[in-house]
């Protein structure tokens, strides 16, 4: 039961993008086409799930055991960077078109604060191993959900007559704010 | 725990994690090795690597890939000019077409001395911002004077002159078109080098009003149209004289009687960086 709670909480109620405002950079940067947004979401989900799976043992079995938990930031960043490298290699091999479409945002998953935030929250909330992996996966699903919805809206707006001062990033940020307000509606879904 | 042991543990654990991940990545790198077309690298060595975007592709790498695919002719690189066009053509084994040099031309001469100011603009000092409020000049077609084109130029080929309008240095401009894209009023145009005759005004206002707000505006009097030795070489459109570059002779004959001196021939090539600086120096003395 707790696993389901963690999943719903991380993907909807405490959506990383729309309630914690983590990972805004790719959220605004890669959300102009739904196809790319979905792929970016999937890549990030993959990295997040693996991050949870890798950083939890590092934290519990190395940092806590040898009494150096203050190294968590460094250790997590190293692990995330390595995972992103792996994903980058894989995408470059399997789909050069996607590799070009994601462009700079793919290596930037390394510094995506949502990924690091996930690892830190996982430690902060004392999740066990299974819970951590579910949490990582759910966070990725939440990120994918947000970025795909955003790209859907932005694709529709391509054909709209937008006043000049609102064009581009400014309107994207306004939409992000409205989506965040809409997501607040999920707050009543689970008590506590 | 003592500081010494803590430092040792930190170093060892971080080093260990790093080494394990590095080994893991090294294996993955072998497994996911991708082969790239080695010719892309060779082409990149020929291209100027300035990523100016003048060719229409995002960056030199894209152009190199398009060149290999045969989608782009070898003379599209504006930053490289003739030399690069020839080398690319030799590399690709195709015939090089002569590269026409393109230059940016600023079609407004209404600076501090000529243009009437009827407002005071206190906002952010960029052209884009000023354009939202129509700026401080009475003419709503002319140069705003905040130099966004100069900022956009990566080749040190533009400067604002003492009169507050931008000038393009004939010897420095490589024709990438960055200034054209930067100008919110669209007063900068790209022209081939052999275009000499320009109407330095974009005002579509009626003659009487245009003259009132700027001393060097085109008032659409039609004298240059009459004086042009080829009929139809210069025409009037939207209260502006428009030069038809296919037919109009690019000499001074048709410009002599212009009452506001806004049509000129061949002043662009006189503005080199050296000439501009020496004038500025003389004024300073």
DSSP codes, chain A: -HHHHHHHIIIIIT-TTTTS--SHHHHHHSTTSHHHHHHHHHHHHHHHHHHHHHHHHIIIIIIITTT-GGGHHHHHHHHHHHHHHHHHHHHHHH-HHHHHHHGGGTGGGGG-HHHHHHHHHHHHTT--HHHHHHHHHHHHHHHHHHHHHHHHHHHHHTTS---GGGTTHHHHHHHHHHHHHHHGGGGGSS--
Asked if the C-beta of B23 comes within 8 angstroms of chain A's C-beta atoms, the answer is no
Within 8 A of A82 by CB-CB distance, chain B residues are: 21-22, 24-25
Task: Report pLDDT for B285.
Answer: 64
Cβ(B9)–Cβ(A66) below 8 Å: yes
- Could you tell me the fold of the domain covering B101-195+267-285? Alpha-Beta Plaits (3.30.70)
Give B6→chain A minimum CA distance, Å. 7
Domains of chain A, residue spans = 8-187
Q: How far, in Å, CA of A53 to CA of A69, rounded?
A: 18
Asked if the C-beta of B7 comes within 8 angstroms of chain A's C-beta atoms, the answer is no
CATH code of B197-265, in short, is 3.30.70
pLDDT digits (tens, 9 = 90+) for B153-175: 888 889 998 888 999 998 888 88
For domain B38-92, the CATH class is: mainly alpha
CB contact under 8 A, B34 and A92: yes
Q: How far, in Å, CA of B33 to CA of A93, rounded?
A: 7
pLDDT along chain B (285 residues), means of 10: 84 90 89 77 82 76 82 79 81 72 88 86 87 85 90 89 88 87 90 86 88 88 84 85 84 79 79 79 69
A-chain residue closest to B24, CA distance = A82
Asked if the C-beta of B10 comes within 8 angstroms of chain A's C-beta atoms, the answer is yes
Q: Do domains B101-195+267-285 and B197-265 have the same CATH topology?
A: yes
> Which of A66, A67, A85 is the closest to B25 by Cβ?
A85
Residue with tokens 């725990």: B1
User: Is the Cα dihedral B190, B275, B202, B234 positive or negative?
Assistant: negative
> Which of A58, A93, A165 is the closest to B32 by Cβ?
A93
Does residue A140 carry a pLDDT above 90?
yes
With bands split at pLDDT 50, 70 and 90, how would you rate the model's confidence at A190?
low
A-chain residue closest to B17, CA distance = A75
CB contact under 8 A, B17 and A165: no
Within 8 A of A75 by CB-CB distance, chain B residues are: 13-14, 17
pLDDT digits (tens, 9 = 90+) for A8-28: 888 888 888 888 888 888 888
Cβ(A189)–Cβ(A21) below 8 Å: no
Asked if the C-beta of B20 comes within 8 angstroms of chain A's C-beta atoms, the answer is no
CA distances from A44 to A168, B25, B132 (A): 24, 18, 39
Rounded (10°) angle between helices A72-94 and B3-31:
0
B interface test, pick of A84, A89, A91, A94 with most B CB neighbours within 10 Å:
A89
What is the arithmetic mean of pLDDT over A95-108? 76
Task: Report pLDDT for B97.
Answer: 66
Centre a 10 Å sphere on the Cβ of residue A160 and count the other Cβ atoms it contains: 7
Domains of chain B, residue spans = 38-92, 101-195+267-285, 197-265
Task: Report pLDDT for B282.
Answer: 73
Asked if the C-beta of B278 comes within 8 angstroms of chain A's C-beta atoms, the answer is no
CB contact under 8 A, A68 and B9: yes
Residue-averaged pLDDT of chain A: 86
Within 8 A of A86 by CB-CB distance, chain B residues are: 24-25, 28
Question: Could you tell me if residue A42 is left (phi over 0), alpha (psi between -120 and 50 degrees) or otherwise beta?
Answer: alpha
Does residue A170 carry a pLDDT above 70?
yes
Structure tokens at B205: 């206002």
């Amino acid at each position: 039961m707790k696993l389901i709670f963690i999943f719903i909480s991380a993907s909807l109620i405490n959506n990383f993008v729309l309630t914690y405002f983590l990972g805004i950079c790719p959220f605004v940067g890669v959300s102009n086409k739904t196809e790319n947004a979905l792929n970016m979401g999937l890549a990030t989900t993959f990295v997040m799930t693996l991050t949870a799976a890798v950083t939890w043992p590092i934290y519990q079995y190395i940092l806590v055991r040898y009494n150096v938990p203050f190294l968590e930031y460094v250790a997590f960043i190293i692990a995330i960077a390595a995972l992103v490298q792996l994903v980058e290699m894989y995408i470059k091999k399997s789909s050069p078109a996607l590799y070009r479409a994601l462009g700079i945002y793919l290596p930037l998953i390394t510094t995506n604060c949502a990924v690091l935030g996930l690892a830190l929250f996982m430690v902060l909330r004392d999740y066990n191993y299974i819970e951590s992996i579910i949490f990582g996966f759910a966070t990725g699903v939440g990120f994918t959900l947000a970025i795909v919805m955003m790209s859907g809206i932005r694709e529709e707006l391509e054909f709209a007559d937008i006043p000049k001062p609102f064009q581009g990033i400014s309107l994207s940020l306004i939409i992000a704010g409205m989506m965040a307000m809409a997501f607040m509606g999920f707050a009543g879904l689970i008590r506590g | 725990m003592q500081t010494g042991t803590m430092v040792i543990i930190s170093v060892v654990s971080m080093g260990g994690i790093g080494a394990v991940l590095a080994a893991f990545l090294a294996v993955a790198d072998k497994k996911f090795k991708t082969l790239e077309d080695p010719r892309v690298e060779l082409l990149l060595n020929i291209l100027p690597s300035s990523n100016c975007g003048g060719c229409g592709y995002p960056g030199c790498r894209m152009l190199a890939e398009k060149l290999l695919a045969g989608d782009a002719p070898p003379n599209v690189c504006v930053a490289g000019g003739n030399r690069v066009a020839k080398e690319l053509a030799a590399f690709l084994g195709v015939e090089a077409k002569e590269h026409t040099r393109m230059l940016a031309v600023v079609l407004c001469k209404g600076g501090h001395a000529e243009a009437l100011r009827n407002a005071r603009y206190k906002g952010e000092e960029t052209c884009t911002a000023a354009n939202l409020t129509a700026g401080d000049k009475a003419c709503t077609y002319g140069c705003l004077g905040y130099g966004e084109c100069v900022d956009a130029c990566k080749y040190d080929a533009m400067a604002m002159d003492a009169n507050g309008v931008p000038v393009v240095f004939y010897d420095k401009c490589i024709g990438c078109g960055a200034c054209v894209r930067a100008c919110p009023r669209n007063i900068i145009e790209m022209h081939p080098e052999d275009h000499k005759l320009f109407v330095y005004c974009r005002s579509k206002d009626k003659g009487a009003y245009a003259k009132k707000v700027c001393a060097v505006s085109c008032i659409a009097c039609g004298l240059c149209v009459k004086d042009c030795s080829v009929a139809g070489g210069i025409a009037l459109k939207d209260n502006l004289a428009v030069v038809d570059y296919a037919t109009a002779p690019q000499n001074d004959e048709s410009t002599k009687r212009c009452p506001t001196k806004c049509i000129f021939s061949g002043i662009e090539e006189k503005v080199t960086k050296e000439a501009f600086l020496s004038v500025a120096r003389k004024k300073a003395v």
